[in-house]
Chains A and B, each alone.
Chain A
């Protein structure tokens, strides 16, 4: 079963990996930060070794986006960002795993101070009913 792990973040300046550009992440004591990074490296190496990784893309800065909307019967195109939110959609990972529990385990790896990680199942084209 496939899941997307969506990273919502607001690195300053915009950059990847997002955590390196987040004040909340920089405030973590160095020893603890190193431990967090190591946990991620090890966990992600396992995701790769198990053949669970399918695809990933980091996204450009929200200021580079273009928005297409409809207003009074006409198409209106303006510059981004989409919302003046605290966090922006920053990138995603697509994984293919055995179970929902395993997907949660992986999503947990991506979470850190100062950003939100969202786990969403992918819809399948076919059904297995009837």
Chain B
């Protein structure tokens, strides 16, 4: 599918012309022209080269128009020369394009996580620039109108320009500093797709597939950082459970009740391989530890065979590198599995109450300890606080069954 070429074309344009919003607009126009001309005249030999040439022409025209307005002629002349010099023929276009292919997706990812952008803008830009999704597809994924998405992307591009963000090969130190934000954004894309999956009208796993694709790219372009492999392994292992997460009627099936025969074996094997290659590299960060926990779950043919002792060790390590409430909660659950519900409740005691996840976990532990009345109160309260319909149904059902 030639739309996969879009990020490389965009990167080629950015290297030449610099301005993200001009280049992105020009690329969209070139893609429109392609959608019109190619079915009629046939696909050119080098689709990417064609797109670079047509879009480049648009950027130059645009700059020329702006320049005429502002009365600054030299800039257009200079750009025009650059354009003529770099892409005089389709052949040269190919070479230029291929030469830059090495790291351009990564450079784009890094640009999309510029610190001036909010997380949701980063995600929207990444889906557009690197995932090759159309505004319509992004809008569908987030269940908002297309006009809303258009405004968000326009605003994100304007923010990038105001912040003076430049498309460039970041040096090693800058890159190392930005990779965590890139991984977070990729992970957020996955979570969004994961959560949307059961919603009425949600069609396919566009977002989850795109996130896995991005994680793969990240590993390929930057194999030296084991956290990239950790992220990819985590997404693959989570993706493997996809078919078992919901019943046909859309009810949530918790991990311990999933039909493990529905888990994707190929994805599990690949996820574990990716993880096992990464772990000995050195620094073991949050994504590798989360993936390790997912791998232990994947290893158990039945929920009762789960090696909770190992999971507890992993949660202890995870809490040291990534001390978030969600991780502490996971550690409390693992503690309850290893040392009994009272030990789990003791861990929860030290945590600030209030979140529906904590109340749900405490409800489970209280039920395990035989305190049905207290358990029911926690489960019903958790059900009233969650914003997920399948989770609410599940918690209400649990409370009713006590």
Write the residues of chain A forming the contact surface with B, with a CB cutoff of 8 angstroms. Answer: 1-2, 48-55, 96, 98, 121-130
A122: chain B residues at CB < 8 Å are: 387
* Bound-complex Cα distance A50 to B154 (A): 9
Query: Which of B119, B151, B388 contacts A124, CB < 8 Å?
Result: B388
Residues from 236 to 252 in B contacting A, C-beta threshold 8 Å? 241, 245, 250, 252
* Bound-complex Cα distance A53 to B144 (A): 9
A98 with B388: in contact, given A125-B196, A126-B197, A130-B245 (CB under 8 Å)?
A: no
Decide if A126 touches B148 in the complex (CB within 8 Å): no
A125 with B118: in contact, given A54-B145, A96-B144 (CB under 8 Å)?
A: no
Check B199 for interface membership: any CB of A closer than 8 A. Answer: yes
Q: How far is the CB of B304 from chain A (nearest CB, A)?
A: 16
Decide if A54 touches B391 in the complex (CB within 8 Å): no
A48: chain B residues at CB < 8 Å are: 151
B58: chain A residues at CB < 8 Å are: none
Looking at chain A's contact residues, the main secondary structure is loop
A1: chain B residues at CB < 8 Å are: 387
Closest to B246 in A: A126
Query: Which of A49, A96, A125 contacts B389, CB < 8 Å?
Result: A125
Check B390 for interface membership: any CB of A closer than 8 A. Answer: yes
Check B194 for interface membership: any CB of A closer than 8 A. Answer: yes
Q: How far is the CB of B394 from chain A (nearest CB, A)?
A: 8
* Bound-complex Cα distance A124 to B199 (A): 7
Decide if A49 touches B151 in the complex (CB within 8 Å): yes
Q: Apart from A124-B388, A127-B252, what are 6 other A-B pairs with CB-CB below 8 Å? A: A98-B118, A124-B389, A126-B194, A128-B191, A128-B194, A130-B255
Decide if B195 touches A127 in the complex (CB within 8 Å): yes
Check B88 for interface membership: any CB of A closer than 8 A. Answer: no
A125 with B250: in contact, given A50-B155, A54-B148, A55-B145 (CB under 8 Å)?
A: yes
* Bound-complex Cα distance A35 to B386 (A): 38
Query: Which of B148, B199, B202, B252 contacts A51, CB < 8 Å?
Result: B148
Tell me the count of chain B residues lying within 8 A, CB to CB, of chain A. 40
* Bound-complex Cα distance A120 to B160 (A): 33
Closest to B386 in A: A127
Q: How far is the CB of A45 from chain B (nearest CB, A)?
A: 12
Closest to B244 in A: A130
Write the residues of chain B forming the contact surface with A, with a CB cutoff of 8 angstroms. Answer: 118-120, 142-145, 148-153, 155, 191, 194-200, 202, 241, 245, 250, 252-255, 258, 357, 386-392, 394
Decide if A126 touches B144 in the complex (CB within 8 Å): no
Closest to A50 in B: B155
Decide if A126 touches B388 in the complex (CB within 8 Å): yes
A129 with B197: in contact, given A51-B149, A122-B387 (CB under 8 Å)?
A: no
Closest to B252 in A: A127
Decide if B195 touches A126 in the complex (CB within 8 Å): yes
Q: How far is the CB of A3 from chain B (nearest CB, A)?
A: 10
A125 with B245: in contact, given A51-B149, A51-B152 (CB under 8 Å)?
A: no
A126 with B390: in contact, given A48-B151, A49-B151, A51-B151 (CB under 8 Å)?
A: yes
Decide if A50 touches B390 in the complex (CB within 8 Å): no
Closest to B196 in A: A126
A2: chain B residues at CB < 8 Å are: 143
Closest to A54 in B: B144
* Bound-complex Cα distance A129 to B238 (A): 11
B250: chain A residues at CB < 8 Å are: 125
* Bound-complex Cα distance A122 to B388 (A): 9
A52: chain B residues at CB < 8 Å are: 148
Decide if A50 touches B151 in the complex (CB within 8 Å): yes
- Which of B144, B250, B258 has the most chain A CB within a 10 Å cutoff? B144
* Bound-complex Cα distance A2 to B394 (A): 22
Q: Can you spell out 21 A-B residue pairs with CB atoms less than 8 angstroms apart?
A: A1-B387, A50-B151, A51-B152, A51-B153, A98-B119, A123-B387, A124-B387, A125-B198, A125-B199, A125-B250, A125-B388, A125-B389, A126-B197, A126-B202, A126-B390, A128-B195, A129-B252, A129-B391, A130-B241, A130-B253, A130-B254
A126: chain B residues at CB < 8 Å are: 194-199, 202, 388, 390
Q: How far is the CB of A97 from chain B (nearest CB, A)?
A: 9
Decide if B392 touches A123 in the complex (CB within 8 Å): yes
- Which of A48, A98, A126 has the most chain B CB within a 10 Å cutoff? A126
* Bound-complex Cα distance A72 to B41 (A): 71
Decide if B200 touches A125 in the complex (CB within 8 Å): yes
Decide if B252 touches A53 in the complex (CB within 8 Å): no
Query: Which of A51, A55, A98, A125 contacts B390, CB < 8 Å?
Result: A125
Please list the 6 inter-chain residue pairs (A to B) with the smallest Cβ-Cβ separation, ordered nearest first.
A125-B199, A51-B152, A51-B151, A127-B388, A127-B391, A130-B255
